[in-house]
Amino acid sequence: MTDIVLETRNLKRRFGAFLATNDVSLKVERGARHALIGPNGAGKTTLINLLTGVLPPSEGQVFLEGEDITSMASFRRVKRGLTRTFQINQLFNDFTPLETVALAIAEREGVGHNFWKSVAGYGRIVDEAADLLSRFGLASVMGERTVILPYGKQRLLEIALAFASRPRVLLLDEPAAGVPEDERHEVLSIVSALPADVTVLLIEHDMDLVFSFANRISVLVAGALFTEGTVAEISADPRVKAVYLGENA
Ligand SMILES: Nc1ncnc2c1ncn2[C@@H]1O[C@H](COP(=O)(O)OP(=O)(O)OP(=O)(O)O)[C@@H](O)[C@H]1O
């Protein structure tokens, strides 16, 4: 029997009369490298918001490791191991990567705003943050202000930050988007070396990255699951090509 770690059943989300998520039943297997692709406006962001609890569904359910989490608050989903990467926003610009990740670890540990009261606790958190940052190619810049980092490093910091919550399922949102060519290789090699025990659902436009990373692909079109398959099946599917060509026409 396959081990399904994340599942949606007949998920729907309406915005007024518009159906942005149309009866999506998605299954993500434990340990998968599962990609969610689809043309602009297909509903990828809406589906991620439904999975993370940012948006409530109009109908249907979301399950994490067999538990119905449809009504669970976002932060509780993170505590259960379902985490997404998110774009570093202005809040983090003046922080260093070390401060950013240390704060996230402190948050996970529930020590929050008074963690500095314990020197030993503080040291442990900083050590873990430094270790995490070095795994993501950020050791040499962990004391710099985030705003001055090369863009590829900022994208890697987003992933390191997500790992501070110790995810079992990571929703990885376009990790290479906007990364200049000379930094791409580092981002892609770190993404491809993510720990195998973490299940990854990758939302991505870049087909080279999808085809090199994923072992399962779901194609979303107009809010609905259009087709699903292996890299070989999807890359050879003329209907998928037509969907993307239609977008570029
Ligand atoms: N809050 C909202 N209110 C109304 N319509 C919305 C809202 N959010 C999304 N939509 C609509 O739902 C559809 C799906 O949007 P969504 O952002 O989920 O697509 P996407 O696949 O992530 O697109 P992209 O690849 O361009 O980011 C779009 O037509 C969008 O206009």
Q: Is residue 54 part of a domain?
A: yes
User: What confidence tens digit (pLDDT) does each residue in 118-161 have?
Assistant: 666 678 899 999 999 999 999 999 999 999 999 999 999 999 99
Question: Which of these three, 140, 166, 192, is where a domain ends?
Answer: 166
Q: Is the CB of 77 under 6 A from ligand 1?
A: no
Same domain, 117 and 157: yes
211 domain residue, yes or no:
yes
As for the ipTM of the complex, it is 0.95
> Is 53 found in the same domain as 1?
yes
What is the model's pLDDT at position 249?
Answer: 45
- 211 in the same domain as 162: no
Ligand 1 nearest atom to the CA of residue 46, by list position? 18
- pLDDT confidence bin for 23, thresholds 50/70/90: very high
- Segment 158-211, tens digit of pLDDT: 999 999 999 999 999 888 888 999 999 898 889 889 999 999 999 988 888 899
Tell me whether residue 87 is in a domain.
no
CATH number at residue 57: 3.40.50.300
The reply to whether 161 and 180 lie within a common domain is no
Same domain, 55 and 99: no
What is the structure's pLDDT at 93? 87
- How close is the Cα of 224 to the center of ligand 1, in Å? 13
| 86 inside domain | no
User: How many structural domains does the chain have?
Assistant: 2
* Domain co-membership, 113 together with 225: no
Report the separation in Å between the CA atom of 15 and the middle of ligand 1, taken as the mean of its atom positions.
9
- Among the candidates 126, 151, 166, a domain finishes at 166
pTM of this structure = 0.91
**Backbone dihedral angles phi then psi of residue 131, each to the nearest 5 degrees:** -65, -45
Which residue, by CA, sits nearest to atom 2 of ligand 1? 15
Q: Is residue 180 part of a domain?
A: yes
Final residue in a domain of this structure, among 150, 166, 182: 166
d(CA 151, CA 140): 15
Same domain as 175, residue 124: no
Q: Could you tell which of 11, 37, 45, 226 is best to mutate to test the pocket of ligand 1, judged by most ligand atoms within 8 Å of the CB? A: 45
Is there a domain that residue 11 lies in?
A: yes
Looking at the structure, tell me whether residues 160 and 186 fall in a common domain. Answer: no
The answer for residues whose C-beta is within 8 angstroms of residue 159's C-beta and 6 or more apart is 85, 136, 172, 175, 190, 191, 194
Q: 195 and 72, same structural domain?
A: yes
- Which domain, by its residues, includes 18? 1-81+168-249
Confidence of residue 88 (pLDDT cuts 50, 70, 90): low
- What DSSP string describes the chain? ---EEEEEEEEEEEETTEEEEEEE--EEETT-EEEEE-STTSSHHHHHHHHHTSS--SEEEEEETTEE-TT--HHHHHHTTEEE-----GGGTTS-HHHHHHHHHHHHHT-GGGGGG-HHHHHHHHHHHHHHHHHTT-GGGTTS-GGGS-HHHHHHHHHHHHHTT--SEEEEE-TTTT--HHHHHHHHHHHHTS-TTSEEEEE-S-HHHHHHH-SEEEEEETTEEEEEE-HHHHHT-HHHHHHHHHHH-
Q: Tell me the sheet residues that pair with 224.
A: 221
